[in-house]
Structure formats: C-alpha cells, structure tokens
Amino acid sequence: PLPFALPTAVAGIALTALYTPTGLVGQFAADLGFKIAYTPLGITLALTFVTLPFVVRTVQPVLADIPREVEEAAACLGAKPLQVFRHILLPALLPAWLTGFALAFARGVGEYGSVIFIAGNMPMKTEILPLLIMVKLDQYDYTGATSIGVLMLVVSFVLLLLINLLQRRIETP
C-alpha cells in the first residue's frame, strides 16, 4: 500500500495540501463549517493514513484463510449476516485485528513526518509529543525531552502488554 512506500514527510505535505481550507477536501469541510487541518481531526486522519496498512496487513491473510463455505453453511442453517459476522468472522479476525492495532499504535506514537505539517503545533490543542521532544531538544532541555520519550515508551509498552494479554485470553478457549 501507498503509505508504506511514501516518505512520511511527503504524506504530511500531501495531506495538509488536501485538508487546508483551500485544499480539495478542506474546501468542502470549510463550506460545512469545520476545519480539518491544524485540528485533532487532521492529526487523526494523518495517523490513520500512515498506520491503517499495518491493520490491513494483519487482517487480510486471516480473511483470505476463512473458507467461504463456512459462511455459506451458516447462512444455509439460518444465520443472518450479522450472526455470521459475530460468530464466525469476528472470532477469527479479533486476534489479527488486535495485533494490527498494536502495530499501528506503536507506529503512530512516534509518528513525526506525516503529522508535523497538519498538526500546526498549537499549544494544548494540536501539540504532538514527537514535536514537543524536538522543541525541548532545541531548547537544550535534554531532561524534558528524555522524560517525554520515557513516558511515550512506558505508555506504548503498557498498551502493547495489555493487547498481548487480551489476545492470549481470546485465543485460549
């Protein structure tokens, strides 16, 4: 997928160009009365663009391995589409989805290139931690930069640990 091959700074510039009030998508948003660029929504869209391929790469093989006959058999036995999804597809997909989410989150926590342009770095509104680290380093505040980095590391580790524990719990009958 494109986000894997595209340098993140290029993605950030392209997304900002799309989502600013004069951009292709940003114009429509402005007409509807809301902004995308330089808002948390813009940050979320940039992170989704960069990290979604990690989820797709983990879920796609699982979907491909589920025999179509299993879904058809469930439907023949009277299962509605939502029941097929809930009882057949979801249990098979959940571990892969959690793994993809963990990879995406780990990638997104430290994302800098794609987000830096669209974030705008407005204090207490669109600041991102990787940029805050850069600001601290520019101010020769190595202790502050290190503290933020350690905090990011701890949060990432705890979340990955929780996802792995949840994944094991789901996989064991």
Give phi and psi for 68, each to the nearest 5: -60, -30
Q: How confident is the model at residue 30 (pLDDT cuts 50, 70, 90)?
A: very high
| 6-34: average pLDDT | 92
Task: Kindly state the average pLDDT of the residues 12-34.
Answer: 93
Task: Record the tokens describing residue 15, joined without a space.
Answer: 């997304």
Question: Tens of pLDDT along 117-156?
Answer: 898 888 888 888 998 999 999 999 999 999 999 999 998 8
Res. 3 pLDDT band, cuts 50 70 90: low
Written as one string, the DSSP assignment of 57-79 is HHHHHHHHHS-HHHHHHHHHTT-
User: What are the boundaries of each domain within the chain?
Assistant: 2-171
Cα angle value 161/165/170 (rounded, 5°) = 145
**Residue 166: pLDDT over 90:** no
Where does the pLDDT of residue 85 fall: very low under 50, low under 70, confident under 90, or very high at 90 and above?
Answer: very high
pLDDT for the residue 147: 97
pTM of the shown model: 0.80
Residue 123 three-state SS: coil
pLDDT at 98 over 90: no
80 φ/ψ sector (left φ>0, alpha ψ -120 to 50, else beta): beta
CA proximity to 120, closest of 21, 4, 7, 3:
21
Q: Are 131 and 119 in contact (CB under 8 A)?
A: yes
pLDDT at residue 2, as a whole number? 63
Q: What is the mean pLDDT of residues 161-171?
A: 77
Rounded mean pLDDT, 62-73: 90
Comparing C-alpha atoms, which of 118, 128, 130, 112 is closest to residue 38? 118
Residue 171: pLDDT band (50, 70, 90) is: low
Cα-based distances in Å from 29 to 14, 18, 23 = 17, 11, 10
Q: Residue 82 pLDDT more than 70?
A: yes
Length of the chain: 173
CA angle 126, 3, 163 (to 5 degrees): 70
User: At the top level of CATH, which class does the domain 2-171 belong to?
Assistant: mainly alpha
